[in-house]
Amino acid sequence: MSGPDERELLLVGVGIMGRPYVAAARRLGLRVRGVESQDWAAGIEGLVDAVEPSQGQYGSLDELWAQTAHDAALRSRPAGIFGFTECHVLGAALAQETHGLPGPSLGAAVISRNKALQRGRFRAHGIGQPDHLLTNDLSEAAEWAKARLPVVIKPLSSAGSDGVELVTDAAAFDAAAVRRASERPLLVETAVEGPEYSWEALVRDGEVWFANLTAKTTTGAPHFVELEHRAAVSLPPAEAAQVAELGRSVIAAIGMRTGIVHLEFRMTSSGPSVMEVAVRTPGDYIMELCSLAYGMDWFELVLRLVVGDELPPPPEGPVKFSASLFVVSDPGEVIAVDGLDEVRAHPAVVDAAAKVRVGDTVQRAYSSLQRTGYAVLAADSREELEEAIGFVRRTLSIKTVPVATEE
């Protein structure tokens, strides 16, 4: 048990994405107890003060993560509990609730984990969103869907665009109904059009302390794999006001209390339409982008909220313009990874890497997992940022050749 002068953070899941939280905890003088998947536990031993191995696995088995978090919290009486990724949100929220510690709230965590519950709440609160139908049997949704094409079919609680599919005609819907007959439940939604954004807010007791707007581009239909994020973008005043109002309404609708929220929406001709909300850390380096853009470590700000520490004055605006971009390669065998050294040498490039090596096989990109490389950039002006993005796009090349067995 940690003494009063030795506060402990219970970090549910460390992996790779949790490491900046460990570093931030150290700066705040917190001991770190890491709940970690059994397979990864040995890898974090030197990094944290105590390891709690869990049978949970990344991307699934929320219940097992929750059990380990619960047991650990009972023994260690932490000053704060935090889970940063989808499968940790529920366990962390349960434990926060049990120990009366700050967090998004159990209700917000449950809703965050389930897109159908989100749709229900947003409807009740008059929040813009696609028309939708929850079904246990896609074939039974055919009539509804065919009257509203194009539609998007999606699972209730996946991430990384996995299983998210745009269907544009009746025959394709019937084919999806056959192919996905064993998947249930599923959401069918009208496909809304408009540029995509995410809104990341640091929230304390239900009030927005600071929010960032990120513009996003994807591969588009059918699988919408994310390609670029630009942080600290600004909209014309009328639209900016709509977004601020949207953020407040969503926080109220899901009953979020304290932590970080990541809201995804499209700006349609009739205002914002919500794709989904999550009371967790955004992926795709958006935290790093926010930290770069506002000159403040967002991981540390989140932990301050989680342990109830004071916050500094909020940033007045961006001090840099930042972006992350991802490479999607054609399916096949990787024959060349070129340009990485030049890209890393560029003054606006903060970080860049390839996720594959020559000889690896790349699958068709149907989710974020199949992306083959990335870069994180920051520049003093939007123009310089765009120039640097162009440079990285031209220079970083991950080439593949089709493999005979590919379709």
Q: Does the protein bind ligand ATP through residue 191 (CB under 6 A)? A: yes
Q: Does the protein bind ligand ATP through residue 203 (CB under 6 A)? A: no
Residues in CB range of 97: below 8 A, 6 or more apart = 103, 105, 106
Q: Does the protein bind ligand ATP through residue 159 (CB under 6 A)? A: yes
- Minimum gap (Å) between residue 227 Cβ and Mg ion: 14
262 bridge partner residues: 200, 278
The span from the CA of 342 to the CA of 348, in Å, is 12
Q: Hey, how many other C-beta atoms are within 10 angstroms of the C-beta on 319? A: 14
The span from the CA of 194 to the CA of 390, in Å, is 23
Choose among 214, 277, 210: nearest CA to 249.
277
Q: Does the protein bind ligand ATP through residue 264 (CB under 6 A)? A: yes
3-state SS class at 5: coil
Pairing of strands 31-37, 8-12: parallel
Single-letter code of the amino acid located at 325: L
Q: Does the protein bind ligand ATP through residue 218 (CB under 6 A)? A: yes
Q: What binding mask, one character per residue, do residues 276-315 give for ligand ATP by CB under 6 A, x or -?
A: x---------------------------------------
- Given 71, 97, 162, 351, the residue binding ligand ATP (CB under 6 A): 162
Considering only residues 338 to 397 of the shown chain, the ones binding ligand ATP according to CB under 6 A are 368
Number of residues that bind ligand ATP (CB under 6 A): 20
Q: Does the protein bind ligand ATP through residue 34 (CB under 6 A)? A: no
Q: Which stretch binds ligand ATP (CB under 6 A): 67-75, 153-161, 230-238, 391-399?
A: 153-161
Q: Which residue is nearest to ligand ATP (CB)?
A: 224
Considering only residues 256 to 315 of the shown chain, the ones binding Mg ion according to CB under 5 A are 264, 276
Six-digit token string for 73: 């919290």
- Residue 162 binds which entry of Mg ion, ligand ATP, none, CB below 5-8 Å type-dependent: ligand ATP
Q: Does the protein bind ligand ATP through residue 118 (CB under 6 A)? A: no
- Residue 122 binds which entry of ligand ATP, Mg ion, none, CB below 5-8 Å type-dependent: none
Residues in CB range of 348: below 8 A, 6 or more apart = 377, 378, 379, 384, 385, 387, 388
Q: What binding mask, one character per residue, do residues 225-244 give for ligand ATP by CB under 6 A, x or -?
A: -x------------------
3-state SS class at 356: coil
- Minimum gap (Å) between residue 150 Cβ and ligand ATP: 8
- Given 158, 217, 249, 397, the residue binding ligand ATP (CB under 6 A): 158
Single-letter code of the amino acid located at 189: E
Three-class DSSP labels, 103-161: CCCHHHHHHHCCHHHHHHHHHHCCCCCCCEEEECCHHHHHHHHHCCCCEEEEECCCCCC
- Given 116, 192, 211, 378, the residue binding ligand ATP (CB under 6 A): 192
User: What does the binding site for ligand ATP look like in residue numbers (CB under 6 A)?
Assistant: 130, 152, 154, 158-162, 164, 189, 191-192, 196, 218, 224, 226, 264, 275-276, 368
User: What does the binding site for Mg ion look like in residue numbers (CB under 5 A)?
Assistant: 264, 276
